[in-house]
Structure 1
Amino acid sequence: MAPGTSSFADFLGDHAPELLPGRRMGEGPAGSLGDLAPHGTTIVAATYRGGVVMAGDRRATMGNVIAQRDIQKVFPADEYSAVGIAGAAGIAVEMVRLFQTELEHYEKIEGTTLSLDGKANRLAALIRGNLGMALQGLAVVPLFAGFDLDRQIGRIFSYDVTGGRYEESSFHSVGSGSVFARGALKKLYRDDFEESGAVSAVVQALYDAADDDSATGGPDLTRRIFPVVHLITADGGRRLPDTEVAAIADRVVAGRMERPDGPHAEPLSGSGSTTEEQR
């Protein structure tokens, strides 16, 4: 039981490789397994002054069926980072748990925390280990965000199924509704966002994703199911209470009753006077 390496994933691979997320299912049948397991869909993240926000819708689908209406897709990785899952839900949740243990294990062995870049690299290695299952249709493509204590800014990282790691600027989205969410954020995002503006923008983006992507769940007003919103600043990470998210979602839905396509982007400075319609 000597810990050896500071990587818990490597330790597990040496002593109990069957417990790694990408190997738990063994060899599946030939062909794609994508329609046989619930999949998580849309995750969005955006930086703002003093931090970064990540949010995810609550719907999981299995083919054309809604498998779950209140799945959680955004998790704290440690005190200063969070990870959102898109793809095969079961494997993704196991990967998140392994990632959380990986960061805690490193801190206990080394006596210090990993840098944000180090955390992003460790997650890339876990995704790479799931490549075999990804080729069978059970891909996991998370979104990672955190607060960089050295640079005092929020940062966002995206991945591909091979474990490729890419740092994103300002905002990003992954999952089946990501194209629509990212399009909304392109119009709504501002460099001078405070926390409230960033939270409102990501909720608007998830609404737009749900409006055009059947696999993304919008605010469920009858069941009172709303997106999971996680904020990370120099003081650490915290999940925004459901009551606060509900109040924001209610305002978004009320606004869409008057303007179904959502709020207009603010006009560029110097482009002329602001019309009543733009307001």
Structure 2
Amino acid sequence: MEESPELLNKSVGGLAEFDFSLCERNHALKRQMDGEGFGKLFENMTKMTSSGTTIVGAIFQDGVVLGGDSRSTQGNIIANKKAMKVHYLTDRIYASGAGGSADLEKVSQIVSAELRLFELNSGLQARVVMAVRRLRQYLFKYMGHVSCYYLVGGVDPTGSHLFTVKASGNALRKAVEAEGSGSYCAVAELENGFKPNMTEGECVALIKKGIEAGMRGDNMSGNSYNIMVITAKGLKKELGIKPSFAKEEKIENQFKFNAESLTVLSKRVQAAL
């Protein structure tokens, strides 16, 4: 069965409400590729990807606390057990990131460099809204194709701020928030325990509960987690925190080779320059 060109080339309509025009086109493409033997390829192309992350943030009376787990995944494989998901922007502004590791690292570096140049040229401290604005401008150009979801938090002369920035370029001001595949579990703890004007200790305890809930409920989040406490006085770090339910990893099959098992064929000694 050959699909009509009008259906295959269908564009998004100009409706004010949600538009599902492309659903018919996608079904037609699937039918055509099935007939040509490429149906499996189409399924892989349109498959949703999990960000495999739990990142959280909350405001307290003197600053902001950001945190994230340390598991970086590549499909069903744990690629990195000690990934740092809280990215540096300035000395008083950090961003927890969910999405693609390479995208998050590079976009964070670009915005961090721009903020630093502003501080050097003006002699002023960069504002949190400036970081959010630059992230929004950069990400909006790519319409979601750059896989970056941020929780931007920091302290500046106007106070303590926390924003969520989506890959589409949308941003919202928040008092407490979670992102990533483990956010469904984390946000339940955060919303249940959050209250205005928390102390630093209360906020850190809440962030820990949120991250651990995400790690417990999402197998793409795990291993350990890191927390950054940002205040006007500076930065406090808690790194490599392991929850009580995490199993101790033991390295098995450590082989020790006998030094005499290898035969030395020749030796040469050369003086260092």
Aligned twin of 1:26: none
* Counterparts of 2:80 and 2:142, CA distance in 1: 24
Letter in 2 for 1:91: D
CA distance in 2, matches of 1:32, 1:108: 45
Could you tell me whether the CA contact under 8 Å between 1:40 and 1:89 is conserved in 2?
Answer: no
Query: Which entry has the higher C-alpha Rg, 1 or 2?
Result: 2
Cα deviation 1:98-156 (Å, max 9, x = unaligned): 1211111122233323322222111212222443634xxxx211110111322x3x211
Task: Give the aligned partner of residue 73 of structure 2.
Answer: 61
Corresponding position of 1:70: 82
Match of 1:159 among 155, 161, 165: 165
User: Cα deviation per residue 1:179-235 (whole Å; 9 max; x = unaligned)?
Assistant: 211111111222242112211111111111112111111xx4xxxxx3111111111
| CA-CA distance at 1:239 after TM superposition | 2.1
Once the two structures are TM-superposed, the CA of residue 40 in structure 1 deviates from its matched residue by 5.2
| Structure-1 residue corresponding to 2:139 | 127
Gaps of 5+ in 1: 1-28, 221-225, 255-279
User: 1: CA distance between counterparts of 2:210 and 2:183?
Assistant: 9
Rounded to whole Å, the distance in 2 between the matches of 1:175 and 1:203 is 16
Does the 8 Å contact 2:70/2:81 carry over to 1?
A: yes
1:42-69, CA deviations, whole angstroms, 9 ceiling, x for partnerless residues? 1100111211100000011122222221
Number of residues paired by the alignment? Answer: 204
Q: Superposition pairs for residues 22-33 of structure 1, below 5 Å? A: 31=45
8 Å CA contact 1:39, 1:89 repeated in 2: no
Residue matched to 2:184: 179
Aligned to 1:215: 220
- SS of the residue aligned with 2:107? helix
- Structure 2 Cα separation of the partners of residues 55 and 238 of structure 1: 12
Q: SS where residue 79 of structure 2 aligns? A: strand
In 1, the alpha carbon distance for the partners of 2:235 and 2:52 equals 22
2:234 maps to: 236
> Relative to structure 2, which stretch is displaced further, 123-132 or 202-211?
123-132
Aligned positions of 1:98-113 closer than 5 A: 98-113=110-125
Aligned to 2:260: none
Distance in 2, Cα, partners of 1:239 & 1:105: 25
Work out the CA distance in 2 between the residues paired with 1:178 and 1:201. 14
Aligned residue identity for 2:106: E
In structure 2, the CA distance between the partners of 1:118 and 1:204, relative to structure 1 (3 Å rule), is same
What is the rounded CA distance, in whole Å, between the counterparts of 1:241 and 1:125 in structure 2? 31
The one-letter code matched in structure 2 to 1:179 is: Y
Aligned counterpart in structure 2 of residue 92 of structure 1, from 104, 120, 134: 104
Normalising by structure 1, report the TM-score: 0.66
Structure 2: runs of 5+ lacking an equivalent: 1-40, 247-273
Residues 40 and 73 of structure 1 are in contact (CA less than 8 Å); yes or no, is this contact kept in structure 2?
no
User: How far did 1:164 drift?
Assistant: 1.1
Residue in 1 that maps onto 2:200:
195
